[in-house]
Amino acid sequence: MARTNSLLASVHKKVSPVSHEMEQVMAAFDTKQTGYLSTKELLAACASLGVVLNDKELQTLMPLLTHDDSGNVQYKGFLDIFSSKQ
C-alpha cells in the first residue's frame, strides 16, 4: 500500500503542472468521441504534455480507472483522480 501511494504521488507530481491542459489534449486523442482512450492513446496524450508514465506507474493506476469492455480507459476518471488530490 505504501508503494502504491508513493507511485500515485509520483504520478500526481507529473500530472498536476499540466492538469489544466490535459482534458483538452485527451479529448483531441479521443477521435471517436467516446470519452475513452486506449492505454496507448492515454500514454501518448500524457507524453505530448511532457508527462511520461512508466509501466509500473500505469499498472498502479489501472485498477483505479474506469475501463470499457475493451480495456480502454475513461480519461475523465484519470483526470478526476489527480484533480481531487491536493
Q: What is the pLDDT of residues 10-68, one digit of tens each?
A: 888 888 888 889 999 999 999 999 999 999 999 999 999 999 998 888 888 889 899 99
User: 17, 26, 22, 16: which is closest to 84 by C-alpha?
Assistant: 16
Distance from C-alpha of 59 to C-alpha of 25, rounded to nearest angstrom: 22
pTM of the entire structure? Answer: 0.84
Would you kindly state where each structural domain of the chain is located, as residue ranges?
Answer: 2-83
Per CATH, which fold does 2-83 belong to?
Recoverin; domain 1 (1.10.238)
DSSP-based three-state secondary structure for 37: strand
